[in-house]
Amino acid sequence: MNTGKQIRLGAVLSYLQMAIGIIIGILYTPVMIRKLGQSEYGLYVTAASIISMLTILNLGFGSGYLKFFAKYKANNDEDSIYRLNGLFLLIFSIIGVIALGIGLFLSFNLQLVYAQGLTPEEYKIAKVLMLLLTANLSLSFPMSVFNTIISANEKFVFQKIVTMGKTVLAPLCTLPLLFCGMKSIAVVSVTLLMAVLVDSANIAFVLGKLKQKFYFRKFEKGLFKSLFVYTSFILINTIVKQVNWNVDKVLLGRFQGTVMVAIYGAAATLHTYYENFSTSISSVFRTRVHMIVNSTEKDSPEQKEKLTDLFIRVGRMQFFVLGLIATGLIFFGYDFIVKFWVKEGYEDSYWVCLLLVLPTTIALIQTVGIDVQRALDRHKFRSIAYLIMSVGNVIMTIFLCQKYGAIGAAIGTAISVFLIDGVVLNIYYQLKCNLNVLAFWKSILRASVGLIPPCAFGYLINRFLPTANVWIYLFKILSHTVIYVISIWFLSANKLEKAKVLNFLRKKRKKLNDIG
| pLDDT score recorded for residue 4 | 53
CB-based contacts of 82: which residues, under 8 Å, 6+ apart?
A: 212, 213, 214, 215
Cα distance between residue 328 and residue 331, in whole Å: 5
Cα distance between residue 199 and residue 145, in whole Å: 10
| pLDDT score recorded for residue 233 | 65
Cα distance between residue 205 and residue 28, in whole Å: 30
| pLDDT score recorded for residue 430 | 93
Cα distance between residue 60 and residue 315, in whole Å: 28
Cα distance between residue 366 and residue 421, in whole Å: 9
Output the pTM of the full model. 0.74
| pLDDT score recorded for residue 453 | 96
| pLDDT score recorded for residue 1 | 57
| pLDDT score recorded for residue 177 | 87
DSSP classification of residue 284: G
Summarised one tens digit per residue, pLDDT across range 347-380 is: 999 999 999 999 999 999 998 888 888 778 787 7
| pLDDT score recorded for residue 135 | 92
- Helices and strands: H and E segment counts in the chain: 19, 0
Q: What is the CB neighbour count within 10 angstroms for residue 280? A: 17
Contact 451, 327 (CB under 8 A): yes
Cα distance between residue 267 and residue 259, in whole Å: 13
Q: CB-based burial of residue 58 (10 Å sphere; 0-12 exposed, 13-18 middle, 19+ buried)? A: buried
- What is the number of alpha carbons within 13 Å of residue 280 lying toward its C-beta? 19
Contact 128, 45 (CB under 8 A): no
| pLDDT score recorded for residue 181 | 82
Contact 479, 324 (CB under 8 A): no
Residues of the chain with pLDDT under 70: 1-15, 56-64, 66-67, 113-118, 220-235, 238, 279-287, 290, 508, 511-516
Q: 273: closest CA among 1, 494, 96, 22?
A: 22
| pLDDT score recorded for residue 278 | 72
